[in-house]
């Protein structure tokens, strides 16, 4: 087989579909706690750059293993007949509803798929599972077992002793929480089952590593473009015919806030798309971790830099740091658990008499005046935006495609997330921010900022910097 194929089999509700979703990076795979949800064998091929690397087949669970094995044993004279008898059983019972699930799960195996047998290590081992193992053994196909511990119980040692008798390789694998390296380890183990699969699966592992780096670089570019747009965004309107300058200014402020909110949301959707999480929602239900105005002083302690680091960063980047942090608006809570609130919430007032952004009145060439609101000038603004973007990226990067709950995060007692950035990275970022604010959001400025962000992401990955990731 040019593209290695693996049938994921086992009893219902042992995590088969979750494993398929994780290894195929496909959040479209149906996952349900209701037994028997998977009724047909469904193929999911993982591709990179349009090239298929391997296929996983999500199969129904065993329903009548005892009857099937009994049928086989009644007709077998010696081991040489076993595979042929399995083929005969499927051919004779393909339209028999009693053995629908068994025929569905055996068909791809008889067509050449390797076997990935899944059990729940939180449930006790029982002799009924041995019936399934014997059936799979009769097919003669390469076999590997995964212990996917779903609940709180722990019977992994018992399972391993039983599985070792029937499977060449036995691994523990958390379908929902497995890290990227753990997923690669399972693919590498597949290669040990069949020498013919090794070249293709080795290519698949390398392609996944390369793809992960590409996604990180692309994410850095998207985040840089978002930051550049937010740092230079302005709203303007003619004063001619307006009710009052104050009314028009409030309208433009609201419009600016909405624009910044939309830009951040657009960036997040693009980053999620790079990691094949287009359908992932965010947590809007449990909003209890933080309940404070995003741009209050307390809120800025979560994202962005501390006062001390901000002053240093401003000096390093050649920007005017000032003596403190400009506070923007209050009025709407970010509630950190969501990670989706607008950059500035829904706020539209002033805080302490200070405006949220630069406000100018400019003359028009043909007469009249134009009111311009923006850009946001607070020194910590880009650091807060970047802290939010990097936190979101970490969540998306590490999230398995078997997860179905909304994406959320808990930072505990952490404050000033961006303070952990090394001085060299802060210098590069501060210089890039200053360049954007001075020269605009051109390709050169965005490219410089993207390079600085990509370098920071790479250092985080090397140091396993996943603070805040569940």
Taking the C-alpha atoms of residue 11 and residue 403, their distance in angstroms, rounded to an integer, is 20
What's the domain count of the chain? 2
Any idea what the Cα angle at residue 168 is, between residues 166 and 174, rounded to 5°?
95
Taking the C-alpha atoms of residue 228 and residue 420, their distance in angstroms, rounded to an integer, is 22
pLDDT (average), residues 297-319: 57
Taking the C-alpha atoms of residue 206 and residue 208, their distance in angstroms, rounded to an integer, is 5
Q: Is residue 469 part of a domain?
A: no
Q: Are residues 37 and 146 in the same domain?
A: yes
Q: Are residues 386 and 355 in the same domain?
A: yes
Q: Are residues 223 and 171 in the same domain?
A: no
Q: How confident is the model at residue 346 (pLDDT cuts 50, 70, 90)?
A: very low
Q: Are residues 163 and 264 in the same domain?
A: no
Taking the C-alpha atoms of residue 207 and residue 45, their distance in angstroms, rounded to an integer, is 14
Q: Which of 94-108, 272-286, 370-384 has the highest mean pLDDT?
A: 94-108
**What confidence score (pLDDT) does residue 407 get?**
61
Q: Are residues 180 and 276 in the same domain?
A: no
Q: Is residue 448 part of a domain?
A: yes
Q: Are residues 345 and 439 in the same domain?
A: yes
Query: Do 406 and 282 contact (CB within 8 A), yes or no?
Result: yes
Q: How confident is the model at residue 242 (pLDDT cuts 50, 70, 90)?
A: low
Q: What is the pLDDT of residues 407-434, one digit of tens each?
A: 655 544 455 678 888 999 999 999 999 9
**What confidence score (pLDDT) does residue 59 get?**
92
What integer best gives the mean pLDDT of the chain?
A: 79
Pairing of strands 359-363, 369-373: antiparallel
Q: How confident is the model at residue 191 (pLDDT cuts 50, 70, 90)?
A: confident
Q: Is residue 206 part of a domain?
A: no
pLDDT (average), residues 212-228: 96
Taking the C-alpha atoms of residue 223 and residue 209, their distance in angstroms, rounded to an integer, is 21
Of 213, 166, 208, whose CA–CA distance to 188 is shortest? 208
Q: Are residues 185 and 249 in the same domain?
A: no
The more confident residue out of 231 and 334 is 231
Q: Are residues 266 and 161 in the same domain?
A: no
Of 103, 286, 114, whose CA–CA distance to 190 is shortest? 114
The CA distances from residue 140 to 8, 79, 92, 107, in Å, are 16, 10, 20, 13
Q: Are residues 170 and 225 in the same domain?
A: no
Query: Do 412 and 357 contact (CB within 8 A), yes or no?
Result: no
Q: Is residue 468 part of a domain?
A: no
Taking the C-alpha atoms of residue 392 and residue 374, their distance in angstroms, rounded to an integer, is 26
- Examine the pLDDT at 348 and tell me if it is beyond 70: no
Q: Are residues 88 and 218 in the same domain?
A: no
User: Could you list the residue range(s) of the whole structural domain that residue 9 is in?
Assistant: 5-193
Q: Are residues 249 and 370 in the same domain?
A: yes
Q: Is the peptide bond before 40 cis (omega within 30 degrees of 0)?
A: no
Q: Is residue 467 part of a domain?
A: no
Q: Is residue 224 part of a domain?
A: yes
Q: Are residues 236 and 144 in the same domain?
A: no
- Examine the pLDDT at 159 and tell me if it is beyond 80: yes
**What confidence score (pLDDT) does residue 218 get?**
97
The more confident residue out of 179 and 344 is 179
Provide the CATH number for the domain around residue 183: 3.40.50.300
Q: What is the pLDDT of residues 17-66, one digit of tens each?
A: 889 888 888 877 776 555 555 567 889 998 888 889 899 999 998 999 99
The three-state DSSP-derived secondary structure of the chain is CCCCEEEEECCCCCCHHHHHHHHHCCCCCCCCCCCCCCCCCEEEEEEECCEEEEEEEECCCCCCHHHHHHHHHHHCCCHHHHHHHHHHHHHHHCCCHHHHHHHHHHHHHHCCCEEEEEECCCCCCCCHHHHHHHHHHHCCCCEEEEECCCCCCCCHHHHHHHHCCCCCEEEECCCCCCCHHHHHHHHHHHHHHCHHHHHHHHHHHHHHHHHHHHHHHHHHHHHHHHHHHHHHCCEEEECCCCCCHHHHHHHHHHHHHHHHHHHHHHHHHHHHHHCCCCCCCECCCCCCCCCCECCCHHHHCCCCCCHHHHHHHHHHCCCCCCCCCCCCCCCCECCCCCCCCCCCCCCCCCECCECCCCEEEEECCCCCEEEEECCCCCCCHHHHHHHHHHHHHHHHHHCCCCCCCCECCCCCCCCCHHHHCCHHHHHHHHHHHHHHHHHCCCHHHHHHHHHHHHHHHHHHHHCCCCCCCC
Q: How confident is the model at residue 326 (pLDDT cuts 50, 70, 90)?
A: very low
The more confident residue out of 254 and 143 is 143
Taking the C-alpha atoms of residue 428 and residue 280, their distance in angstroms, rounded to an integer, is 32
Of 186, 11, 26, whose CA–CA distance to 114 is shortest? 186
The CA distances from residue 80 to 84, 259, 372, in Å, are 8, 70, 84
Residue 189 has φ and ψ, to the nearest 5°, of -65, -35
Q: Is residue 204 part of a domain?
A: no
- Examine the pLDDT at 380 and tell me if it is beyond 70: yes
Q: Is residue 199 part of a domain?
A: no
Residue in the structure block whose two tokens are 């302005």: 234
């Amino acid at each position: 087989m040019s593209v290695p194929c693996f049938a994921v089999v086992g009893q219902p509700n042992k995590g088969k579909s979750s494993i398929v979703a994780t290894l195929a990076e496909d959040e479209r795979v149906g996952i349900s706690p209701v037994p028997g949800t998977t009724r047909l064998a469904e193929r999911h091929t993982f591709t990179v750059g349009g090239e298929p690397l391997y296929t996983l087949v999500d199969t129904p669970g065993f329903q009548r293993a005892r009857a099937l094995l009994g049928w086989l044993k009644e007709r077998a004279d010696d081991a040489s007949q076993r595979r042929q008898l399995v083929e005969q059983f499927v051919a004779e019972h393909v339209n028999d509803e009693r053995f629908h699930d068994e025929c569905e799960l055996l068909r791809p195996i008889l067509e050449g798929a390797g076997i990935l047998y899944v059990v729940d290590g939180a449930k006790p081992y029982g002799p009924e599972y041995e019936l399934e193992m014997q059936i799979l053994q009769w097919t003669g196909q390469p076999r590997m077992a995964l212990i996917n511990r779903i609940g709180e119980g722990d019977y992994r040692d018992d399972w391993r002793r039983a599985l070792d008798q029937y499977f060449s390789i036995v691994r523990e694998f958390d379908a929902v929480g497995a890290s990227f390296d753990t997923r690669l380890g399972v693919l590498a183990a597949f290669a040990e089952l069949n020498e013919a699969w090794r070249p293709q699966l080795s290519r698949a592992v390398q392609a996944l590593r390369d793809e992960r780096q590409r996604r990180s670089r692309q994410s850095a570019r998207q985040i840089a473009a978002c930051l550049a747009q937010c740092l230079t965004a302005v709203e303007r309107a003619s004063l001619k015919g307006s009710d009052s300058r104050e009314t028009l200014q409030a309208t433009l402020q609201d419009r600016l806030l909405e624009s910044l909110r939309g830009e951040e949301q657009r960036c997040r959707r693009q980053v999620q798309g790079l990691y094949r999480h287009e359908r992932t929602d965010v947590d809007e239900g449990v909003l209890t971790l933080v309940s404070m105005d995003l741009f209050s002083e307390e809120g800025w302690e979560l994202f962005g830099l501390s006062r001390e680091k901000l002053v240093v960063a401003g000096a390093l980047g050649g920007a005017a740091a000032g003596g403190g942090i400009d506070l923007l608006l209050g009025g709407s809570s970010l509630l950190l658990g969501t990670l989706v609130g607008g950059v500035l919430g829904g706020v539209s007032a002033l805080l302490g008499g200070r405006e949220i952004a630069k406000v100018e009145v400019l003359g028009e060439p043909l007469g009249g005046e134009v009111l311009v609101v923006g850009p946001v000038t607070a020194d910590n603004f880009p650091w807060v935006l970047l802290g939010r973007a990097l936190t979101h990226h970490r969540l998306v990067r590490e999230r398995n495609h078997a997860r179905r709950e909304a994406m959320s995060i808990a930072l505990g007692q952490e404050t000033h997330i961006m303070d952990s950035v090394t001085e060299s990275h802060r210098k590069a970022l501060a210089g890039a921010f200053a360049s954007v604010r001075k020269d605009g959001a051109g390709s050169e400025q965005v490219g410089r900022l993207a390079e600085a962000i990509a370098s920071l992401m790479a250092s985080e990955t090397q140091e396993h910097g996943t603070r805040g990731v569940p």
